[in-house]
Structure 1
């Protein structure tokens, strides 16, 4: 499998399709007040870079790094159902970590849902540890918060 990880525009139709599929999944699993995904417009800021995992011109997954004051946040991590189990989420996460390190960002953080066991396994195996709510998040019945010092 020859996959390329590269920055993509959230407005690219293929990226938008992945992001909307991710939003639909989150809306099916979690109550509205526990959904913190970024919409397409929110992803289109200079502080956020969306990366895509692409094979033969087909976008199979995406993840974003959102630069904050003193840390960066992992956002919009999603792999299309037909490409799951191929290690794409790990490669995307590795890319975000590499970018954070290159930019001198000392800490990666993320919020994920308690009904996403594959995501939890990925983050924990990549060295993320549970932490409390951060930024504008609040504790709720669905969200889990993680961080990884770099």
Structure 2
């Protein structure tokens, strides 16, 4: 039986940085640079961000971040599970952990931007109550993007 642990971690650890590089490469292969809205390492270590990692038997296999926005909502960022670790509900568990953090802090609106080709992610977000909406925050309309929102509380 594999041991799964999901918790807050620093994103600047070597194995987590490798995971983030894999995420960046995945999206860079799917979308043009102007459609990728990466949260950089400096931003991921800011006080407004909670960064979590999923470890399977000690190996970093997934991650996600919650970015609190001063405009009164929080954004789901950096959601990713390594291809070899998919199919076991890790993405759902990561997203549920981020939702729990937001809910525990009294955040009432969660938003996200994802790519139109991320079919599995779109299915997960819809399954957990996210609905499509227009661009938010500093995003502009983008034919490669889907914008979604979920109310909490």
Structure-1-length-normalised TM-score: 0.97
Structure 1: 4+ residue segments shifted above 3 A: none
Residue 114 of structure 2 corresponds to 112
Deviations 1:102-139 (A, max 9, x none): 10000110000001100000000110000110000000
Deviations 1:2-58 (A, max 9, x none): 311111111011111111100011111101111101122221101001100112211
Question: Counterpart of 2:52 in 1: which secondary structure?
Answer: strand
Residue 14 of structure 1 corresponds to 15
Q: Quick one: distance in 2 between partners of 1:40 and 1:20?
A: 11
Question: Counterpart of 1:9 in 2: which secondary structure?
Answer: coil
Question: Counterpart of 2:143 in 1: which secondary structure?
Answer: coil
Unaligned runs of 5+ in 1: none
Q: How does 1:9-48 map to 2 (within 5 A)?
A: 9-48=10-49
Residue 151 of structure 2 corresponds to 149
C-alpha RMSD of the superposition:
0.8
Residue 53 of structure 2 corresponds to 52
Deviations 1:54-101 (A, max 9, x none): 122111100000011211100000001110011000000000000001
Q: Quick one: distance in 1 between partners of 2:3 and 2:11?
A: 22
Q: Quick one: distance in 1 between partners of 2:8 and 2:122?
A: 24
Q: Quick one: distance in 1 between partners of 2:36 and 2:66?
A: 18
Unaligned runs of 5+ in 2: none
Q: Quick one: distance in 1 between partners of 2:131 and 2:20?
A: 26
Structure-2-length-normalised TM-score: 0.95
Q: In the alignment, is residue 83 of structure 1 matched against residue 85 of structure 2?
A: yes
Q: Quick one: distance in 2 between partners of 1:107 and 1:15?
A: 28
Q: Quick one: distance in 2 between partners of 1:17 and 1:74?
A: 20
Question: Counterpart of 2:42 in 1: which secondary structure?
Answer: helix
Question: Counterpart of 1:144 in 2: which secondary structure?
Answer: strand
